[in-house]
A = this chain, B = another copy of it.
Amino acid sequence: MPQHLFRLDSSRPFTDQEKTGHNRWHPEVPPVATVKPGDSFRVDCREWFDGAIRNDDSADDIRDAPVSKVHALSGPFAIEGAEPGDLLIVDILDVGPIPQEDSGPLAGQGWGYTGIFAKQNGGSFLVDQFPDAYKAIWDFSGQTATSRHVPGVSFTGIIHPGLMGTAPSADLLARWNAREQALIDTDPHRLPPLALPPEPQDAILGTLSGDAHDRVAAEAARTAPPRENGGNQDIKNLTRGTRIFYPVYVIGANFSVGDLHFSQGDGEITFCGGIEMGGFLDLHVDLIKGGMETYGVTENAIFMPGNTDPQYAEWISFSGTSVTLDGEQRYLDSQLAYQRACLHAIDYLSKFGYSPEQAYLLLGAAPVEGRFSGVVDIPNSCATIYIPTAIFDIDVRPSASGPAQIDPGIGAPRSSF
């Protein structure tokens, strides 16, 4: 194990640890440690809701999930010599659930969860069809996940951090806040909201305190969206062996990480998505001095995925186009097309005995692929979703004999109201 720079004790809350992380983006959040280019180090990560979600058969915790508290991030880590204009190289040497702890009340201790957010609490990709909160608990056995709430499936996790990134400069942060507020202003009372403005309530900012804390808390950006600094990209392919290149916007780069997933389907469609857990990362960092200009990478992360993704060879796939469920034609809307593809997959799986919620939770958690198949054929985008057939206990291919039936078991818990 490389040097352990950020430790978390599973028995204590995120704010009561040896070192305190953060849950907002701001250039002034102080680093928890400084590393050199070429260093390797270990970072523990807390699951994004810091233990608010429980391993039980109720979805009330998902309904009440404290969105203002996310994401519990580890860091920032300052990289010696990093300056604005550099590219920060981050290698994911290893990533996994909480080591040496495979049972306990904290996600990452041998289990994780997927939630469908209620419309009242952020909603999800298919919020109109699934306005209520649901939950699935997944049990880990090695790299395999199964669930009492979604029976009849078993898959190899594609373990990755949902969120990694560098700190924004003050200028970049100001642009984020301005452009997101402008969007919010177009429909400020929308439910779910269009975006989340800075929220001092529940802001965690490392060692900042007093006035400095309050000033930064008032300015700091929420961590939900991916942005120029990487951030909450939720790219399922950032698995072990991946190398990512981040733009550096502040002295030291101030790199942070969190939101580990045991697995996730492309899109993280249920929002409280993938299989959420705490755990650890072993990282290696390096710099390409002046790399932003040299490689034209100035406002986005680029990456080279690892080569140990779970291999599947047979897929059942569904397409969708940019026509709404009500039959309205939209113009080249891949977001809508992917929603329709997902709904088609859910309709299909429902014929095998799954409830729609079970199917939805499965698509959020399993290593499914979502692709932009056609984006120019006016007026319809064509999006496609690919589900590996081998994850099912039954044969899910269409045939003349009709769909086999699984036993849906206790189903996916739904929150009370």
A34 on interface, CB distance cutoff 8 Å: no
Query: Taking the nearest CB of chain B, how far is it from the CB of A323, in angstroms?
Result: 7
The distance in angstroms between the C-alpha atoms of A379 and B179, with both chains bound, is 10
- Among A13-21, A52-60, A139-147, A250-258, the stretch that binds chain B is A139-147
Query: Taking the nearest CB of chain B, how far is it from the CB of A199, in angstroms?
Result: 13
Contact of A93 among B141, B329, B369 (CB under 8 A): B141
Interchain CB contact under 8 A, B403 and A294: yes
Q: Report how many residues on chain A are interfacial, defined by Cβ distance under 8 Å.
A: 127
Q: Mark A342-379, 1 if CB is under 8 A from B, else 0.
A: 00100110110000000000000000011111111111
Contact of A313 among B91, B236, B313, B373 (CB under 8 A): B313
A271 on interface, CB distance cutoff 8 Å: yes
Interchain CB contact under 8 A, A331 and B374: no
Contact of A398 among B295, B315, B334 (CB under 8 A): B295
The distance in angstroms between the C-alpha atoms of A402 and B297, with both chains bound, is 13
The distance in angstroms between the C-alpha atoms of A351 and B351, with both chains bound, is 34
Interchain CB contact under 8 A, A301 and B313: no
Which chain B residues lie closer than 8 Å to A327 at the CB level?
A: 175, 179
A317 on interface, CB distance cutoff 8 Å: yes
- Among A129-137, A201-209, A383-391, A406-414, the stretch that binds chain B is A383-391
A237 on interface, CB distance cutoff 8 Å: yes
- Among A22-30, A76-84, A187-195, the stretch that binds chain B is A187-195
Which chain B residues lie closer than 8 Å to A303 at the CB level?
A: 317, 319
Query: Taking the nearest CB of chain B, how far is it from the CB of A37, in angstroms?
Result: 10
16 intermolecular pairs with C-beta atoms under 8 Å apart: A1-B102, A93-B142, A125-B376, A225-B378, A226-B377, A245-B398, A269-B375, A273-B376, A297-B344, A297-B347, A302-B316, A302-B317, A304-B389, A313-B390, A335-B335, A371-B371
